[in-house]
A and B are shown apart, each in its own frame.
Chain A
């Protein structure tokens, strides 16, 4: 039910949108609120009845039956709750943020489309339906990034996002087909059972899972497929908050968590996930430190946190990944919406042009700080607990301690970029161009506030409240492991937070350490980070120097060689031959008579000589 309601809203808005643009936002919001209500019902039913699935036949071909079915369990419920709740806030926020937009109805149509697709993805009980949702959220993302398609950069970014994730999607599809080939079904539950029964060939299973992770890496912007996400910030800011921070980009993590019982059987695949995740967390953290655009900093921060979630899965703790997903979703939503409020109030997104904004926008400042510090891991905020669990997972899980050290480094970078961002934007001198900055209206600040509160308070769910609820992580994965704290690790992470925030305070507020000097000292590393480690350059080079020339060459061969020589060639030869022969047939009697005479003479000579 939950995905159907926004789908209907999408159809309705498409029909009515151009004539009655005014009702579109309300249709969309009503649909998403209804979906949230469905979630509440599902949740309550779930508490009574436990997990359940239901499905109907879609089509049958060649003996394969394809179904549309849903599954309700802890993991899908958490995701569905996040998706519908964040979407409500975002849509209300958009009402004010985009109120001058002439194509507002189209925006809300896409919001409904996205919500429907995302919920389909979340609830799907089989891989094919999941793939359907997966591609449709990609479509929603494409259209929303390109919402201002008159801007060349927006159209470019939309295309880049779609094609980059598409590369992952093909890997994903190959992985799904491999699994299907091995088991004869797309049903996640059946595949899991068959895998555990050992009826899937090991090598095949391994490659299937690696391919599937390729798809997850594309959607969740893992290195080296992360390049689309920063560019995706060309879309309206609420879209960045919803799709490119809280919901769609975590679909990859969600998929890996859903399939974790299978992944758990293949250590190689988990190692790959852990390595890629950690690498992403680290490099994206470094890049975030080098960016100057507020939204891009947040984008790289998102990539980094997605890396942390993957790392947790790779360490063997999907529940921890889900917990971080939850904490990150609300924190990042409040951050992006806060950034939206800032650009709404100042018309500015470059942090070098900002400063002292707390004087003008105190409320946004508080909300933004809560979200940012939660993600940086300030004790007692939600991010502190989830980050702690990740560190603990890396420590106690299947990975060696080298991972733990690098994870601490990645965490340190996340503290550094958070400090830099907070101080540059909100503290210090009020920049002269921001004199008339102002707080937004209630439709904008209310969602920001709610998300910030959740980012602050959700940490409470981590604890073991009763025997029935032994902390979020054990609840979501149905395990017996309760919540606990490792003093050493927690100690180190708290020290990192405090030192990091102090260090950035010295650099950006006290200015007792010069940022420029550090940058110069770092030399090449700093430049490489500012140039985003040349990923874009390499890809652009590959497209310009390999793909397009190949295409040009093939097109040329197709015309010049296959067509002009191979096809037109025989035609022209025939015509030329005909043209030559034509001179013989002059149509004049005396020419023919001459020919006959010559022929007769020749024949006579031959006859006579023989």
Chain B
């Protein structure tokens, strides 16, 4: 691929946003243009994904502009690159952005601004996954807040301003710690670079190699906790989850899809790339030392999230809390790092990475379907619904598929990720894994109970005259269903790539 390709991938949505801002006036043109741009970007991303050479491995398609900030003492480069860890997540982002654009079809309020923010959001998330310079990573990480704040507070419902503010404060609080961590790493003696990984072909030596076995500016454990806090908030890991249900409940459908599907994965990506990738050989403290903490928080998230989900009466809030539970599996998989190198393989880490992708597609589909229900019923309050299956079979089927995938039915993507996490983690944390496995029973409980109360039961006269989803509504649904089934039946399309990325991440 030619130089600059990844920059095109990252900035295409932003460029589209610029075009919309400057040239387009007609709402319907704006919609089609935005959808077209996201679909085009998805195509570019698919090409990127296919073009990534697994047999070669490592970072590929590097985009580098070394003199980005040519200040002595701040050697930040403009450095983009893709590897086995980021490639599937970029693919997920491309897919969900296109889905979110389709799901925004019915937005009528301030259409132009809406799509501009949505596209900017897409660029910032892609930037997070593709940036390999720590400062650039941080900038993309922060930029993402602005469109999210706007999208939730302007196009949201309920207590939207409160939720948007809460989201921003939580994330900013986390990233303040992250900035300290980044600077502490950069200022440690012998580092003097922001490169997050080593890229031999470019002659770049990254932080993981430079800090191995050395004394850092402040103790490595402190830096790790600073960085971890940012990721834990983003994931979100218990007890930092409190912003998530509010942000989800009050956000418009497409934003919930982006939030659950992609933004949470920034936390998981950071956890893998940075918390695990950089701190395996540091002096005085390694990530292995706190694996017990990760595992414990993960299991609390899984069980606590599932229990709270059982009692939710708002569809969106229910899906939001289930995300807390499901993201716990990512952390559980990561916690198996402590055993890796001995008898344990890196299956747990692979499972964690895979769980991010599957949760993205599954929860995306769930929010999409909830959005379709809400558009028609104008309520998400479960006791007011019921018997929708007769009126809206298509919506019901898509929720059934999402629900079954969410409770880990084999043949759909959720199962593959969960079993891989279990297999990788079992040997390290037998009891915690066994407890986490019962999260799957609770998942069956809340999913089936929700479906029974919402979709089954006697015909609901209240929504007699409202029609089922139409063709445009179904395009994103079908896209997500295909990806869920495809990963469930042929997990290789994702696992083979992650495998490369994870094996390069593990240094012990």
Count the A-B residue pairs with Cβ separation under 8 angstroms: how many?
135
| Distance of B326 from chain A, by nearest CB (Å) | 16
Q: Please determine whether B390 and A159 come into contact, CB atoms closer than 8 angstroms.
A: no
In the A-B complex, the 3 residue pairs with the smallest Cβ-Cβ separation, listed nearest first, are: A62-B347, A62-B345, A132-B410
Contact code string A531-574 (vs B, CB < 8 Å = 1, else 0): 00000000000000001101110110010001100110001000
B445 within 8 A of A: yes
Partner of A170, one of B416, B438, B448, B490: B438
Within residues 415 to 463 of chain B, which ones have a CB less than 8 A from any CB in chain A?
415-416, 419-420, 422-424, 426-427, 433-434, 437-438, 440-441, 444-445, 448-449, 452, 455-459
B422–A62 touching, CB < 8 Å: no
Q: A64's contact among B347, B354, B409, B438, by CB below 8 Å, is which?
A: B347
Report yes or no: A167 in contact with B441, Cβ–Cβ below 8 A: yes
A251 at interface by CB-CB < 8 Å: no
A132 to B345, CA, bound (A): 23
Chain B 337-375 against A: per-residue CB contact (8 Å), 1 yes, 0 no?
A: 000000001111111001000000000000000000000
Interface set, chain A 115-137, CB cutoff 8 A to B: 128, 131-132, 134-136
Task: Judge whether B456 and A149 touch: CB under 8 Å.
Answer: yes
Interface bits A122-166 vs B (CB < 8 Å: 1, else 0): 000000100110111001001000100111100110110011001
Report the count of interface residues on A (CB-CB < 8 A).
48
Q: How far is the CB of B447 from chain A (nearest CB, A)?
A: 10
> Is A512 in the interface zone, CB < 8 Å from B?
no
The interface residues of chain A lying within 8 Å CB-to-CB of B467 are none
- The answer to whether A64 and B423 have CB atoms under 8 Å apart is yes
Q: Is the CB of B456 within 8 A of A63?
A: no
* CA of A163 to CA of B351, assembled, Å: 25
When chains A and B are docked, how far (Å) is the Cα of A159 from the Cα of B404?
12
> Which residue from chain B places its CB closest to the CB of A543 in the assembled complex?
B445
A146 to chain B, nearest CB (A): 7
Interface segment among B124-132, B181-189, B491-499: the answer is: B491-499
Chain B residues 307 to 351 lying within 8 A of chain A, measured CB to CB, are: 307-308, 310-312, 345-351
- Given A135-B409, A150-B456, A166-B441, A63–B242 Cβ distance below 8 Å? no
Most buried by B among A146, A177, A548: A177
Residue interface mask B375-394, A partner, CB < 8 A = 1: 00000000000010110000
Q: Is the CB of A61 within 8 A of B347?
A: yes
Contact call B242/A558, Cβ cutoff below 8 A = yes
Q: B36 in the interface, Cβ–Cβ < 8 Å?
A: no
Separation of A146 and B389 alpha carbons in the complex (Å): 12
Q: Cα distance A178–B445 when bound, in Å?
A: 25
Known: A59-B416, A59-B491, A149-B389. A166 touches B409 (CB 8 A): no
**B158 interface hit (Cβ, 8 Å):** no
CA distance A550 to B390 in the complex (A): 34
Q: How far is the CA of A577 from the CA of B450 in the complex (A)?
A: 43
Contact present for B242 and A173 (CB under 8 Å) = no
| A166-B444, A567-B242 as given contacts; A64 in contact with B345, CB under 8 Å | yes
User: What residue of chain B has the Cβ atom nearest to residue A178's Cβ?
Assistant: B426
CB distance from B491 to the nearest CB of A (A): 4
Chain A residues, CB < 8 A from B411: 132, 135-136
**CB within 8 Å for A181 and B426 given contacts A149-B456, A554-B304:** yes
In the assembled complex, the Cα of A28 lies from the Cα of B21 at a distance in Å of 55
Q: Which of B311, B409, B424, B496 is the one whose CB lies under 8 Å from A62?
A: B424
29 contacts between A and B (CB under 8 A): A58-B491, A60-B492, A60-B496, A60-B499, A61-B354, A61-B495, A63-B346, A64-B347, A132-B410, A132-B415, A136-B410, A139-B404, A139-B409, A146-B456, A149-B456, A158-B448, A159-B449, A162-B444, A162-B448, A163-B444, A173-B419, A173-B437, A174-B434, A181-B427, A551-B310, A554-B307, A555-B311, A562-B239, A563-B246
Q: Which of A135, A151, A178: most chain B CB closer than 10 A?
A: A135
* Cβ contact within 8 Å between A552 and B423: no
C-beta contact mask, B244-257 vs A, less than 8 Å → 1, else 0?
00100000000000
Q: Contacts A59-B416, A152-B458, A166-B441: A177 and B426 contacting too (C-beta < 8 A)?
A: yes
Within 8 A of A (CB), among B456-485: 456-459
- Summarize B's interface: helix, strand, loop or mixed: helix
Nearest A residue to B169, CB-CB: A571
Q: Which residue of B lies closest to A143 (CB)?
A: B400
Judged by a CB distance under 8 angstroms, whether A180 is at the interface is: yes
A547 to B438, CA, bound (A): 13
Residues 563 to 605 of chain A near chain B (Cβ within 8 Å): 563, 566-567, 571
- Supposing A163-B444, A174-B434 touch, asked if A150 and B410 sit within 8 A by C-beta, the answer is no
CB-based nearest A residue for B340: A62
Q: Which B residues lie at the A interface, using CB under 8 A?
A: 166, 169, 239, 242-243, 246, 304, 307-308, 310-312, 345-351, 354, 387, 389-390, 404, 407, 409-411, 415-416, 419-420, 422-424, 426-427, 433-434, 437-438, 440-441, 444-445, 448-449, 452, 455-459, 490-492, 495-496, 499
Alpha-carbon separation in the docked complex, A554 to B411 (Å)? 33
A552 touches B166 (CB 8 A): no
Closest A residue to B389 by CB, please name it.
A149
Q: Contact between A566 and B242 (Cβ–Cβ < 8 Å)?
A: yes
Give the residues in chain A near B404, CB-CB below 8 Å.
139
Chain A residues with Cβ under 8 A from B419's Cβ?
A: 128, 173
By CB atoms of chain B within 10 A, which of A63, A132, A136, A166 has the most? A166
Contact residues in B for A571 (Cβ distance below 8 Å): 169
A171's nearest neighbour on chain B, judged by CB, is B437
Chain A residues with CB below 8 A from B491, complex form: 58-59, 61
Please state if B448 and A60 are interface contacts (CB–CB under 8 Å).
no
Complex alpha-carbon distance, A566 and B420, angstroms = 35
Contact of A548 among B310, B312, B426, B496 (CB under 8 A): B310
Beyond A151-B458, A159-B449, A174-B434, list 14 extra A-B contacts (CB 8 Å).
A62-B349, A64-B345, A64-B423, A134-B410, A159-B448, A162-B444, A162-B448, A166-B407, A170-B437, A170-B438, A178-B426, A547-B310, A552-B311, A555-B308
List chain B residues, Cβ under 8 A from A142: 448
Contact B452 A63 (CB under 8 A): no
Contacts of A156 in B (CB 8 A): 452
Contact yes or no, B387 A150, CB < 8 A:
yes
Q: How far is the CB of B352 from chain A (nearest CB, A)?
A: 11
| Contact of A163 with B310 at beta-carbon distance under 8 Å, contacts A60-B495, A132-B411 already known | no
Q: B441 and A170: CB pair below 8 A?
A: yes
CB-contact partner of B420 in A62, A151, A155, A558, under 8 A = A62
For the complex formed, measure the closest distance between the CB of B241 and the CB atoms of chain A, giving whole angstroms. Answer: 8
How far apart are the CA atoms of A163 and B407 in the complex, in Å?
11
Taking a contact as CB atoms under 8 Å apart, the answer to whether A555 and B456 are in contact is: no
